[in-house]
Structure 1
């Protein structure tokens, strides 16, 4: 055969690729390749050292006797395939959990054979999802989970709690509620903050919770120094776990709020002048640390404090993790059983809490098991409000002023007048200078109160803003105390 009669290499590659792979695009325009009848998809532009579609295509061509092709031919073929895929239907890709058909959700086990867990209204089973129903995206952070055990009779939950050092039953039920929430692809869950004295096993407990969802390769990591690196780490996995936090900057606090409830990051695409790259993210977040200092009010509403205590008997790391690996299939199976049971339970959605989806999940858990998760969640939020108030002198001063007001009474002044009033109350007869961070203008004072508004409302002090013909005003109202039967439970 003459050189003119030979099929160009790029055509050989293109024909082979279209016969063995399915190509589609996501909403942001990224083109993915999915091997026929396999749920895992890879971006065709990935230049990763392992598991890239380019390598996958080269290996397939070589093993099927089509030959070894140069980079130029592969590039030309992939350019054409990408252009063709941009005309195909849009389909999302998912990491670890995904919504399915008929009210089902899927959990990726991270296995090479594509086996996953389908959680449906009547139970759960292990199957390979239809590629057109679920497309998994995997990264180096996607670990492999064992096949969950069936018919566990709930003993896996007890085995997990025996290995962790949770301080009380309320903490245990909140940890279980968080794990169930992590299996929901569309339910924002607050970030557990594992606290306790030194030696309480906070890092070990955090790893155990994370590895139920991420496999034995899941681990904790230090908080990145900038938001861009944090977002990159968040986008590459499902559960993001930050270890040993001792200080939380305002930027890090704001970034965590966005991670928990969801946000989008837009930046210029590489090697382009005007195109942009969009990264949407909403992920379960887990934190550990003894104390992070002052917690900002908006983050406090998105935290779930889990207190641990020092164990009476110490065990070696090898013994502990060997036992954990042995019981993980049973733990995962019990968690899936409980998830099915909780999702089937009917419960009213509390309308007074910021994380309403998680509050509803706690109510469903109570309806299914009677654990008291919702009351424990309310009590944990009360504790966090106390932490916010104890770390903010302005909040303390506002509450001191509210104590002098009659129940149901309202006071209306401008922001500047309020600032002078509270500054005099703080200084008292000593005429001491205002502390560092005290508002210096009416505008700064008003902005600070906007952040503190939910925290103060939880203590019966309502803050409202408005305008009259004379100008803007800020109104403070002291609510009457609730009747005894409506007071929140205290543990």
Structure 2
């Protein structure tokens, strides 16, 4: 055969690729390859150590007798495939948890054969998802989960609670509610903060909770030094667990708020002048530490304190983790059983809490089991409000001033007048020095009060802003006291 009759290498590769793989793009324009009938997708431009499509293509061509091709031919073929795929329909890819058809959700077990858990209103089962329904994206952080055990009768939940050193039943039911929330792709869940004395097993308990969702390779990590590295770590896995926190800088606190409730970052694409890369993320977050110092009010509304206590009997790491690994299939099976039961339960949606979806999940858990998770969640938020107030001298001074306002009354002043009044109240007759961070202008005071507004409202002090023809004002009020029980009108 003459050279003119030979099929160019790029055409051979492109033909093989289109025969054995499905190509599609995501909303951000990234092109993915998915082997026919298999739910795992890989970006065709990835050079990652978790396995790239280029490597997958080279191995397939070699095993099927097409030989070995040089890099130029592979590049030309992939350029053509990428251009053709950009005209295909948009489909999202998911890490670990994904929505499915007919109200179902999926949990990726991280197996090579693609088998996953389908959780639907009538139960759960193991199957390989249709690529048109779910496309999994895997990274080095995607560990393999064991096959969950069916019909455990709740045994796995008891095993988990026995292995962890939770301080009380309220903490236990909140931990279970958080795990159920992690199996929902569209439900933002607050970040559990495992706290307790030294030796309470906070890191060990955090690893146990994370590994139920991420497999035995899931682990805790130190908080990254900058937001960019934190976002990269968050985007590569499902549950992000930060260990041994002792201080929360304002930037890290704001980043955690975004991780819990969702946000998007945009940055310039590498080796380009005008193109950008978008990254959307909302992930379950877990924290451990003895004390993180002052908690900002916006983060406090997104935290879930879980207190642990020191165990009375110590065990070796090898013994503890061997028992956990043996129990993990039963624990996962029991969690899936409970998730199905909770999702089928009917409950009203609490409308007075910031994380309303999680509050509704707690109410469903109560309806299904009678645990009292919603009351425990409200109590935990109340404790966090106390932590915010104890760490903020301005909040304490505002509450002290508000104590002199009669219930049902209000007080209006400009921000500068409020600054003068609160500063004088704090300094007192002995004119004690103002603490570091005390507002220095009316504008700074107004901004601080906006952050503290939900915390103060939980303590019966309402802050509002308005304007008259003369100037802007800040209003402080206390709601009227409720009438005595015998004077209240019946609700019907």
Q: Which whole-Å CA distance do the structure 2 matches of 1:202 and 1:420 have between them?
A: 44
Q: How does 1:101-180 map to 2 (within 5 A)?
A: 101-180=101-180
Aligned to 1:382: 382
8 A Cα contact 1:460 1:481, kept in partner? no
- Alpha-carbon distance, 1:367 to partner: 0.4
| 1:133-172 Cα distance to aligned partner (Å, 9 max, x none) | 0000000000000000001001100000000000000000
Q: Which whole-Å CA distance do the structure 2 matches of 1:50 and 1:105 have between them?
A: 25
Structure 1 unaligned regions, length at least 5? 486-491
- Alpha-carbon distance, 1:480 to partner: 3.4
- TM-score norm. by structure 1 comes to 0.98
Aligned to 1:397: 397
| 1:312-343 Cα distance to aligned partner (Å, 9 max, x none) | 00000000000000000000000000000000
- Alpha-carbon distance, 1:113 to partner: 0.3
Q: Which whole-Å CA distance do the structure 2 matches of 1:226 and 1:85 have between them?
A: 35
Aligned to 1:77: 77
SS in 2 for 1:193: strand
Change (3 A) 1:222 1:436: same
SS in 2 for 1:411: strand
Q: Which whole-Å CA distance do the structure 1 matches of 2:370 and 2:264 have between them?
A: 38
8 A Cα contact 1:298 1:451, kept in partner? yes
8 A Cα contact 1:139 1:237, kept in partner? yes
Tell me if 1:235 matches 2:235: yes
8 A Cα contact 1:194 1:202, kept in partner? yes
Tell me if 1:300 matches 2:283: no
Q: Which whole-Å CA distance do the structure 2 matches of 1:481 and 1:309 have between them?
A: 39
8 A Cα contact 1:210 1:219, kept in partner? yes
Aligned to 1:279: 279
8 A Cα contact 1:144 1:215, kept in partner? yes
- Alpha-carbon distance, 1:468 to partner: 0.8
Aligned to 1:434: 434
- Alpha-carbon distance, 1:432 to partner: 1.4
Change (3 A) 1:484 1:262: farther
Q: Which whole-Å CA distance do the structure 2 matches of 1:392 and 1:371 have between them?
A: 34
The runs of 4+ residues in structure 1 deviating greater than 4 Å are 481-485
SS in 2 for 1:125: strand
Q: How does 1:401-420 map to 2 (within 5 A)?
A: 401-420=401-420
Structure 2 unaligned regions, length at least 5? 486-492
Q: Which whole-Å CA distance do the structure 1 matches of 2:330 and 2:186 have between them?
A: 25
8 A Cα contact 2:49 2:140, kept in partner? no
- Aligned pairs, how many? 485
- Alpha-carbon distance, 1:431 to partner: 1.0
Aligned to 1:488: none
Tell me if 1:213 matches 2:196: no
Change (3 A) 1:483 1:26: farther
Change (3 A) 1:482 1:291: farther
8 A Cα contact 1:181 1:358, kept in partner? yes
- Alpha-carbon distance, 1:63 to partner: 0.2
Tell me if 1:90 matches 2:97: no
Tell me if 1:362 matches 2:372: no
Aligned to 2:489: none
Tell me if 1:223 matches 2:223: yes
8 A Cα contact 2:99 2:105, kept in partner? yes
- Alpha-carbon distance, 1:50 to partner: 3.9
| 1:106-126 Cα distance to aligned partner (Å, 9 max, x none) | 000000000000000000000
8 A Cα contact 1:17 1:57, kept in partner? yes
- Alpha-carbon distance, 1:479 to partner: 2.0
- Alpha-carbon distance, 1:433 to partner: 2.1
Change (3 A) 1:30 1:323: same
Q: Which whole-Å CA distance do the structure 1 matches of 2:112 and 2:394 have between them?
A: 56
Q: Which whole-Å CA distance do the structure 1 matches of 2:481 and 2:181 have between them?
A: 34
- Alpha-carbon distance, 1:482 to partner: 5.2
| 1:328-366 Cα distance to aligned partner (Å, 9 max, x none) | 000000000000000000100000000000000000000
Q: Which whole-Å CA distance do the structure 1 matches of 2:347 and 2:441 have between them?
A: 47
Q: What's the C-alpha RMSD, in Å, of the aligned pairs?
A: 0.9
Change (3 A) 1:76 1:484: farther
- Alpha-carbon distance, 1:2 to partner: 1.2
SS in 1 for 2:101: coil
